[in-house]
C-alpha cells in the first residue's frame, strides 16, 4: 500500500474584507460581517473588528480562529501593559506589539491579514497594514482580505497620497473630511460585494476621533 500523506490542513480561509482610512483627525476602520468556508456561508453577522485600546482598533480577515486567538493575546498583553504602566497603549506601540506577536509565530503563522487603525499621540489618524508574518508599515489607507485586490486600486485612485518615503516629506493622511471618508468606505464595500463572493451581508464601520468612537452598520447584498 503506498504511503498515505496527511491531507489535513490546520488552516481554513473564512474570507471577508477589511479597510481602514486615516484622516487628519479621525480614522475609519471597516469590515464586512460575512464568515464563509468554501462555498458556504457560516454566518452573516460576524464582527472582524476589535477595539484593543481606546485609540487602537484592529480589523482582521483570513482564518477567524487564528484571528480570535490573536485578538485574545493582544488584549491580554494590553491589560498587562495597563497594569504595569498605568496608561493605555498608544497606537504606534500597539502596532509594534502586533508585529512582534505575528512574527513569534513565524514558523506556524497566524493566517490573519490585519489592518490596525487609530489615532497617534498627536491626534492624527494612523493606519498600519500587515502581512501574515508581521511586516508592517504606517500608511494613509489600506485594504486586506478577499476583496483587497478590488478595493485597493480604487483607493489608490481616489486617495493616492504621496509616499512617506519622498524627500521633502509630504503628509500621507487624506485631506478628506470624516463624512466623505465614510462615504468612500461604503462605496468600496458596495463595489467589492458585487464582484467578490466572500464579501457581503453587512459592513461594520468604526470611526475614531477626538470625541471618542462611533459605530455604524450598513446593509450589503446578501447573495
Partner 1 sequence: MMKIDFSGLDPSMLVKGNAEGLDDEILAAPSFKLPVTVDFDGFQKAAVQMVKPAKGTTTLAFIFKDGVMVAADSRASMGGYISSQSVKKIIEINPYMLGTMAGGAADCQFWHRNLGIKCRLHELANKRRISVAGASKLLANILYSYRGMGLSVGTMIAGWDEKGPGLYYVDSEGGRLKGTRFSVGSGSPYAYGVLDSGYRFDLSVEEAAELARRAIYHATFRDGASGGVASVYHVGPSGWKKLSGDDVGELHYSYYPVEPTTVEQEMADVPIA
The site string for partner 1 over 150-169 (x = CB under 8 A, - otherwise) reads: -------------xxxxx--
Lookup result for grid cell 493575546: 73
Q: CA-CA distance, 197 to 195, in Å (whole number)?
A: 7
Angle at 82 between CA 76 and CA 86, to 5 degrees: 170
Using rule CB under 8 A, residue 82 touches partner 1: no
84 interacts with partner 1 by CB under 8 A: no
Between 88 and 101, CB nearer to partner 1? 101
* # residues near partner 1 by CB under 8 A: 33
CB of 5 to partner 1, least distance (A): 9
Say whether residue 11 binds partner 1 (CB under 8 A): yes
Q: What does the block give as the cell for 80?
A: 498587562
3 binds partner 1 (CB under 8 A): no
131 binds partner 1 (CB under 8 A): yes
Angle, helices 91-103 vs 64-85, to 10°: value is: 130
DSSP string, 118-157: EE-TTS-EEEEEE-TTS-EEEESEEEEETTHHHHHHHHHH
Task: Write out the residues near partner 1 by the rule CB under 8 A.
Answer: 9-11, 73, 76-77, 80, 99-100, 102-109, 111, 129, 131-137, 139, 149, 163-167
Amino acid at each position: 500500500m503506498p504511503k498515505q500523506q496527511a491531507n489535513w490542513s490546520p488552516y481554513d480561509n473564512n474570507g471577508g474584507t477589511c479597510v481602514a482610512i486615516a484622516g487628519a483627525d479621525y480614522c475609519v476602520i471597516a469590515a464586512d460581517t460575512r464568515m464563509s468556508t468554501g462555498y458556504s456561508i457560516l454566518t452573516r453577522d460576524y464582527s472582524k473588528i476589535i477595539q484593543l485600546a481606546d485609540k487602537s482598533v484592529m480589523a482582521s480577515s483570513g482564518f477567524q480562529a487564528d484571528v480570535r486567538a490573536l485578538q485574545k493575546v493582544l488584549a491580554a498583553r494590553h491589560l498587562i501593559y495597563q497594569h504595569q504602566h498605568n496608561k493605555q497603549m498608544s497606537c504606534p506601540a500597539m502596532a509594534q506589539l502586533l508585529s512582534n506577536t505575528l512574527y513569534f509565530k513565524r514558523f506556524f503563522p497566524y493566517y490573519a491579514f490585519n489592518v490596525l487603525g487609530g489615532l497617534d499621540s498627536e491626534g492624527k489618524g494612523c493606519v498600519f497594514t500587515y502581512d501574515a508574518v508581521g511586516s508592517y508599515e504606517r500608511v494613509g489607507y489600506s485594504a486586506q482580505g478577499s476583496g483587497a485586490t478590488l478595493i485597493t486600486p480604487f483607493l489608490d485612485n481616489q486617495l493616492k497620497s504621496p509616499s512617506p518615503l519622498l524627500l521633502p516629506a509630504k503628509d500621507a493622511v487624506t485631506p478628506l473630511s470624516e463624512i466623505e471618508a465614510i462615504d468612500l468606505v461604503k462605496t468600496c464595500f458596495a463595489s467589492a460585494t458585487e464582484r467578490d463572493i466572500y464579501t457581503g451581508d453587512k459592513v461594520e464601520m468604526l470611526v475614531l476621533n477626538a470625541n471618542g468612537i462611533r459605530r455604524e452598520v450598513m446593509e450589503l447584498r446578501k447573495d
